[in-house]
Amino acid sequence: MKALSGVSFDVAPGSITAVIGPNGAGKTSLFNTISGFYRPTSGSVRYQGQDITRIPAPRRAKMGLGRSFQNIALFRGMTVLDNIKLGRHAHLKSNVLDALFYIGRARREEAELRADIEERIIDFLEIDHIRHAPVSALSYGLQKRVEMARALAMQPEILMLDEPVAGMNREETEDMARFILDVRAEWGVTVLMVEHDMGMVMDLSDHVVVLNFGQVIAQGAPATVQADPEVIRAYLGSGDVGDLRRKLHATAGAV
């Protein structure tokens, strides 16, 4: 069985594109393929016109593909600040000797990195009060925010967010939605996200791609996708547009 088959879509620069679909539809497999953790047996992944299918994940990150993960992938014994700093690793130019003795370029890079993270990313995501706290001491919602901060430290041109509000309460979800809109508006970052929260998807997205059983069954503007009979059948097993709309409105009202 193929995890993905014939999947094709574009992400417009400066847009927020959401990938949705039932559980097991292939959404995380798609993210892993785009970011380089999986290599497809056929087809290609193209970024800014370049075929990156055979480029390993660390190089893709350096090229501008930053991502978070469905299951939080932070170092729980390290502080918030140290976790975020790890996101810039791919861009550092210091050699092993510099880093070992913490001299010259390594010292300058560390100072520049810390200033950028503290003055931009930590302030932007409103986490200054926890920057020295160990990740293990944080709530789930704050850990998701730290993971987004680490992805932003990678200086991405495309920020890939895998279920950014999963498990969050209403207030945390609203905060994350605001950060996603702001990172696009203020930093010019393109956002590609996988998300189950339909209210958030419909409110934030410019373009929605729907997967089911590893295939794209619909894509387009949120309103168009919302009314597509194939999408409704994938989620509800029926063609009742009214049912889906009521479900979406109920979800949005709970956010």
Phi first, then psi: what are they for 207, rounded to 5°? -145, 140
Buried b / exposed e over 57-89, threshold 16 CB at 10 Å, is eeebbebbbbbbbeebebeeeebbbebbbebbe
**pLDDT tens digits for the chain (255 residues)?**
688 999 999 999 999 999 999 888 999 999 999 999 999 999 999 999 999 999 999 899 889 999 888 777 788 889 998 888 887 765 545 443 344 444 556 566 666 766 777 778 999 999 999 989 999 999 988 999 999 998 998 889 999 999 999 888 889 999 999 999 999 999 999 999 999 888 899 999 999 999 999 999 999 999 999 888 888 888 766 445 555 555 555 555 554
Distance CA(228)–CA(213), nearest Å, equals 17
pTM as predicted = 0.82
- Domains within the chain, CATH numbers bracketed: 16-74+147-254 (3.40.50.300)
Are β-strands 65-67 and 158-162 bridged in parallel, bridged antiparallel, or unpaired? parallel
Residue at token pair 């700093």? 85
